[in-house]
Amino acid sequence: MVKYNINLEGKTVLVTGAAGFIGSNLVKRLFHDVKNIKVIGIDSLTDYYDVNIKCERLKEIVRSLRVLVDISESTGDNGITTGFYQGQNGSSWTFVHASIADKDAVEKIFTENKIAVVVNLAAQAGVRYSITNPDAYIQSNLIGFYNILEACRHHEVEHLVYASSSSVYGSNKKVPYSTDDKVDNPVSLYAATKKSNELMAHAYSKLYNIPSTGLRFFTVYGPAGRPDMAYFGFTNKLVKGETIKIFNYGNCKRDFTYVDDIVEGVVRIMQHAPEKQNGEDGLPIPPYKVYNIGNNSPENLFDFVSILQEELVRAGLLPKDYDFEAHKELVPMQPGDVPVTYADTTPLEQDFGFKPNTSLREGLRRFAEWYAKYYDTEKK
């Protein structure tokens, strides 16, 4: 077990992609757990998926802070509110509506605040989208991450934590996927940008002694998630009576990881920066680590869809006699997809005493209940 070397209380934390699925849940968790913490969030609020969901997440953050004073705020298009909020426990929340690809916006945040920890979750996500919209990935995932690295270089931070992805494993045959495995053959541009992030972070850790930790997330799901993910997209189609496409004829396995488990791992890792030390040559040994965060339990796609259907029925979103067989279509594997993802989480368990453990049924039940409430389609 590692010893925590960063106390978040009284510190300023920058969370990029703060209106995103993982980012918003992380911010809420920090406000719940840590007193007197200042969190700055930045997000460009792109329309890659429904901006209303992102705006609702931002409202949830403000509610979680139990705001005492709205020091300043302004509302722009789509009701997006930017500003500064003071909470009851000495904590504060600042939201900046901007892209990390905007170097001046990033530099302004670092110049005006003493950032202790950066959690970079901003990215253009999605494997299939990267095939038809590559420019979005270069801007956010490469140029944006470079801007974050440069800011960390010129404004000394205690720890840079950043999102990588299980996609970096490509079509590796060996499972479970270990961080010791070679990941030199990405099968999508999205995966290539995430591998590039790891290489860039390693270089900056070596050259500038910046403590950095990369996190390879595995198929994150849960309430208020991304509508482009399978569980969300399937639900949208099923409640409308449409047919869902099951890729690779159902012969896929995914290491579904509930968002609260992801956030638990991130919070623990934020508090331990890799130690700075010099090698025999007197030069810094890169203070750099990479971890998998996954459920360590891949689920067959058919089992996943079956559980989802049962939980949608339970939540009143589908009738009890719903004919699922009539609403599914088996189709071939799509470009950029892989047949299995499976995380080896041994290093995470050894260093932090933590392993994700939310069952797929429990996680999908929470999602179905949220969906019914959010879209107000729950049957009375």
Whether residue 373 is predicted with pLDDT greater than 50 in this model: the reply is yes
Confidence at residue 86, expressed as pLDDT on a 0 to 100 scale? 86
Q: Largest Cα–Cα distance in the chain? A: 71
| Host domain of residue 113 | 12-374
Whether residue 378 is predicted with pLDDT greater than 50 in this model: the reply is no
Confidence at residue 69, expressed as pLDDT on a 0 to 100 scale? 54
190 labelled catalytic: yes
Q: Is residue 238 part of a domain?
A: yes
Whether residue 74 is predicted with pLDDT greater than 90 in this model: the reply is no
- What's the total number of domains in the chain? 1
Confidence at residue 73, expressed as pLDDT on a 0 to 100 scale? 54
Confidence at residue 153, expressed as pLDDT on a 0 to 100 scale? 98
Confidence at residue 29, expressed as pLDDT on a 0 to 100 scale? 97
Whether residue 189 is predicted with pLDDT greater than 50 in this model: the reply is yes
**Is cis: bond before 134, omega within 30 of 0?**
no
Label residue 68 left, alpha or beta by phi (over 0 means left) and psi (-120 to 50 means alpha): alpha
Confidence at residue 85, expressed as pLDDT on a 0 to 100 scale? 86
Whether residue 72 is predicted with pLDDT greater than 70 in this model: the reply is no
Q: Is residue 246 part of a domain?
A: yes
Confidence at residue 251, expressed as pLDDT on a 0 to 100 scale? 80
User: How far, in Å, CA of 26 to CA of 261, rounded?
Assistant: 11
Task: Evaluate whether 100 touches 144 at the Cβ level (below 8 Å).
Answer: yes
Q: Is residue 214 part of a domain?
A: yes
Whether residue 336 is predicted with pLDDT greater than 70 in this model: the reply is no
- CATH code of the domain containing 64: 3.40.50.720
Mean pLDDT, rounded, for 89-101: 94
Q: Is residue 294 part of a domain?
A: yes
Q: Residue 115 — very low, low, confident or very high, per pLDDT cuts 50/70/90?
A: very high
Q: Residue 75 — very low, low, confident or very high, per pLDDT cuts 50/70/90?
A: low
More confident position, 74 or 111:
111
Mean pLDDT, rounded, for 46-60: 94
Whether residue 68 is predicted with pLDDT greater than 70 in this model: the reply is no
Mean pLDDT, rounded, for 269-289: 93
pLDDT cut 90: percent of the chain above it: 79
CB atoms < 10 A from the CB of 23, how many? Answer: 26
Q: Is residue 3 part of a domain?
A: no
**Residue tagged 């995914």 (tokens):** 254
User: How far, in Å, CA of 24 to CA of 332, rounded?
Assistant: 34
Q: Residue 149 — very low, low, confident or very high, per pLDDT cuts 50/70/90?
A: very high
Average pLDDT, the chain: 92
From 85, 162, 190, 342, the catalytic residue: 190
Mean pLDDT, rounded, for 75-91: 69
Q: Which residues contact 310 (CB under 8 A, 6 or more apart)?
A: none
Q: Residue 379 — very low, low, confident or very high, per pLDDT cuts 50/70/90?
A: very low
Whether residue 17 is predicted with pLDDT greater than 60 in this model: the reply is yes
Query: Angle at Cα 55 formed by Cα 114 and Cα 360, nearest 5°?
Result: 95
C-alpha 4: how far from chain center: 22
Q: Is residue 205 part of a domain?
A: yes
Q: Residue 71 — very low, low, confident or very high, per pLDDT cuts 50/70/90?
A: low
Whether residue 28 is predicted with pLDDT greater than 70 in this model: the reply is yes
The pTM of the full predicted model, rounded to 2 decimals, is: 0.93
pLDDT tens, residue by residue, 350-361:
999 999 999 999
Confidence at residue 213, expressed as pLDDT on a 0 to 100 scale? 98
Mean pLDDT, rounded, for 211-238: 96
User: How far, in Å, CA of 81 to CA of 61, rounded?
Assistant: 12
DSSP E strands: which ranges in the chain? Answer: 12-16, 38-43, 67-75, 81-87, 92-97, 117-120, 159-165, 212-217, 220-221, 244-246, 253-254, 257-258, 277-278, 284-285, 288-293, 299-300, 328-330
Mean pLDDT, rounded, for 278-297: 92
Confidence at residue 65, expressed as pLDDT on a 0 to 100 scale? 87
Q: Is residue 50 part of a domain?
A: yes
Q: Residue 335 — very low, low, confident or very high, per pLDDT cuts 50/70/90?
A: confident
CB atoms < 10 A from the CB of 178, how many? Answer: 15
Q: Residue 247 — very low, low, confident or very high, per pLDDT cuts 50/70/90?
A: confident
Q: Is residue 240 part of a domain?
A: yes
Whether residue 349 is predicted with pLDDT greater than 60 in this model: the reply is yes
Mean pLDDT, rounded, for 304-326: 94
Nearest CA among 361, 263, 255, 266 for reference residue 315: 361
